[in-house]
Amino acid sequence: MSQLVQSLCPGCKNRLRIPSDWLHQAIRCKHCGTVLQAKGRIAPAVRENAIASPPQKAAIASIAPPVAPLAVPVAQSVGGATFTDFDHPQPETSKRKKQRPSKGGSGGWMGAFLALLFLVLTAGGAFVFWDNLAALFPPDDDPVAQNARDKSPNSSTTKTSDNESRSVPSQTKDKTPSTKTPSNKQPTDSPTRPNPNRNDSPKPPRPGSNLFPRRALVISIHDYLYANPILNGSSKSDNFHAFLDNLSRAVQIPRNQIAHLSDDSFHTDGDPRAPTKSVIEKSLTAFLETSRAQDRVVVFFVGHSVELGDDVYLAPIEGELDRADTMIPLKWFYDQLAKCKARQKVLVLDVNRFNPTIGQERPGGDEMGEKLDALLKAPPAGVQVWSSCIAKQRSYASDDYPMGIFLDSMRETASGLGNGKIQNDPKKPLPLERWVEVVNEHMKKELGKRKLEQVSRLTGKEAEGNDAYDPKEASPPSPIAALAAPPASVSINKMLIESVLSQAGAPPIKVTHELAIRYDALPPFSVEALKKYQGDVPNPESPLRKAIKNARAVLWAIYPSQGPKELSGDISVMRSKIGVQLNVLRDGYRAPVGGGNVENQFKTRVENDERRVALLMRAIDDALNDLRDPKVVEAREAENKRWQANYDYIHARMQLEYAYLFEYQSMLGSMRKELPPRDPELQSGWKLASQAKLQGDSAGKKFAKEGHKLLDKIIKDHAGSPWEVLAKREKLTNLGLEWQATR
């Protein structure tokens, strides 16, 4: 597959990703339809910059299994189209018929006359309306435009399939080729020639360009390590990329002054990175420190919040909601904003996120508490806070609003703030009061249909007495430059986790929309703690290792995705034997409509589903019995610490799978006994939503209790190791289910 180069569409200014073998052809932008022809050179791949220190390398070598470790995904990834920016170019063909000239020969003169007339009118219009047109284009020091013109060193990630992502390299400023090339690409031996006319020094904004002194940093966290995931929108228009574009157009925040810090690899400008505690803190500090006195800045935080003791915290991606030391105090955000010299400072908080039809797969998404509500009412002087909800409310998401009703309402109402007119005075404040009003009207209309309530609120006032506006002042640096780099331990974490997963890796308990664990979201593992797992010797005849391998083969056989290669033969045998997979577990049902025997037929279909679930339960029960065989239990005591951890983890994992299947089977039984309540005018069926409490068969509750007890033991006995992370993540996965009426 060819490499990609990046450019900007001259029509709509959207970032385009162009296959290198298309550069000689005319292409059409899929966003606005502009026909263009891109020019550029393909850069070598960017070198990885994470290097392990010598003592850490030694620990990795000692913990690695005898066979090269295979990366086993913890969950299925979500894919997208390879080249979504373009319509496919029309190939040139020699078979095209030769066009006949017109008889009188006047067609050519008429075409030339019309072309000349068009150029004259265009030039005249550009001269008259230049001030307005210039504001639509990036300034000369725009890093986004420089990425296309001067080849920024950043590389972006594009989703190419359901199970892989693709890195799009771009040229570095010093024009030196990387020593590392992709395995399927030819290396680039000669550097590109420097541009003698290029001036790398920052340039002031173009006089009269009227670029608004506004900036935004958006922090959105989605696939939490230990908390409930937050959906990041769809691949259509209701996603963060579309939200940022709309934010730029509607409220005049220059697109090159908006940065998105997120683990979302599909809708993020530039490289996605895990918003860990240190990355968030460094990025926010750098963004605010580089803001000018005349700027109006907006900081978004989309994620979880929690009240612990007397304080309120915002959760980074690796945050444990019951540990304050892993969180970021909201007061710290307040302090950073208060110190910033910007003219207007706004914090937009979209917290207490909850999707009723998905439920709580892990902790997070509770109603807003009184302490958080009180703190939001009293921001520091000169700071404004726009919260997505108020006390005793949640910020809702749904199938219709996957990005969240609050953000979707902001996006849908932004263009109407000026009654059809774009704000044209850069000295005026952001139109927040009007925006809050129309957002609340929109949310009330949409949520009222579902009998839900959510009201956003704006508190605080901007500082007075600072009306300085100087269009000649140099623009601030791109906020993207403020985004902190991932921690140096990323490559080490990756190797350690993959090493463990090669021996004890298992798929998710249930089919889920979550992505695989991000290695840059993991805390650094203790080198000292890893010494306990050194000295692993292959022992293929061990009854314990055979039982673990068999249990893993069963778990992968019932999960509807490809398993690890080293288990492929065993998985195939198990799939043929079991005959069904977890995708037979429906996430919901349409309600039976009509009289007569329709409801009985519906319940018969549910009963047939129960029979298929029983096949899954039988397979889990057989594998669990093998793990509990006295010979296997006895062999555990003779094994090293690494394989004891592997056994305990897989044993717990099998029990939790069994508990979940019991719970699901109980939900089907309750459906056959009596249909759950719904409003026929608003709701057409039901979905199974996750919750913490199991309410089904007592046997399922027993297995869940035993599994959690084993996970607690792993967390205690293997602290500071990859097994601790895996055990915490499994323990926080809610196994309870409940029927939720849905549209």
Domains of the chain in sequence order? 4-45+133-168 (no CATH), 214-482 (3.40.50.1460), 540-742 (no CATH)
Torsion sign across C-alpha atoms 665, 667, 671, 674 = positive
Rounded CA gap, 678 and 682, in Å? 8
pLDDT confidence of residue 595: 72
Which is more confidently placed, 233 or 49? 233
- Give me the pLDDT at residue 526, please: 83
Chain segment 373-388, per-residue pLDDT in tens: 999 999 999 999 999 9
Contact indicator for 221, 315 with CB cutoff of 8 Å: yes
pLDDT tens figures, 680-695: 888 899 999 999 999 9
| Pairwise CA distance, residues 490 & 52, whole Å | 9
Tell me if 280 sits within 8 A of 259, measured CB to CB: no
The pairs formed by 670-673 with CB atoms below 8 angstroms and a separation of 24 or more are: 670/739, 671/589, 671/603, 671/606, 671/739, 672/603, 672/606, 672/607, 672/610
What per-residue confidence (pLDDT) applies to 145? 38
**What does the alpha-carbon distance between residue 701 and residue 564 come to, in Å, rounded to a whole number?**
30
Q: Residue 497 is encoded by which pair of tokens?
A: 């986790």
SS3 427: coil
Which of 41-45, 266-270, 579-583 bottoms out in mean pLDDT, i.e. has the lowest? 41-45
Question: String of b and e for 715-731 (b: at least 16 CB within 10 Å)?
Answer: bebbebbbbbbbbbbbb
Q: What is the pLDDT of residue 713?
A: 97
pLDDT computed for residue 674 by the predictor: 92
φ, ψ (nearest 5 deg) of residue 251: -115, 20
pLDDT tens for 115-132 read 666 665 555 554 444 443
- What the block records as the tokens of 488 is 């140096």
Tell me the C-alpha distance between 649 and 533, whole Å. Answer: 15
CB 700 within 8 A of CB 662: yes
456 CB-near residues (< 8 Å, 6+ apart): 386, 387, 388, 389, 406, 436, 439, 440, 443
Query: What per-residue confidence (pLDDT) applies to 667?
Result: 96
Structure confidence by residue, pLDDT tens digits, 61-84: 445 443 333 333 333 333 332 222
Examine the pLDDT at 109 and tell me if it is beyond 50.
yes
* DSSP structural state of residue 418: T
Q: Return the top range by mean pLDDT from 189-203, 311-325, 439-453.
A: 311-325
Tokens at 316, concatenated: 């980074």
The residue among 218, 202, 349, 215 whose CA lies nearest residue 283 is 218
- Please state the φ and ψ torsions of residue 19, each to the nearest 5 degrees: -60, 140
Identify the residue with better confidence: 11 or 547.
Answer: 547
The string of DSSP codes covering 335-402 is: HHHHH---SEEEEEEE-SEE-TTTB-SSS--PPPPHHHHHHHHSPPTBEEEEES--TT--EE--SS-T
- Structure tokens of 487? 């921690």
More confident site: 708 or 208: 708
* Per-residue pLDDT, 463: 87
Helix axes 240-251, 405-414, angle to 10 degrees: 40
- Torsion angle, CA of 488/493/498/500, rounded to 10 degrees? 160
DSSP string, 81-103: -S-TTEEPPPPP-TTSPPPPPPS
User: Mean pLDDT over residues 510-524, rounded?
Assistant: 83
pLDDT tens readout for residues 162-206: 333 333 333 333 333 333 333 333 333 333 333 434 344 434 444
Going by their DSSP bridges, the two strands 311-314 and 344-350 should be labelled as: unpaired
Contact yes or no for 368/352 (Cβ under 8 A): yes
Identify which has the larger pLDDT, 39 or 329. Answer: 329
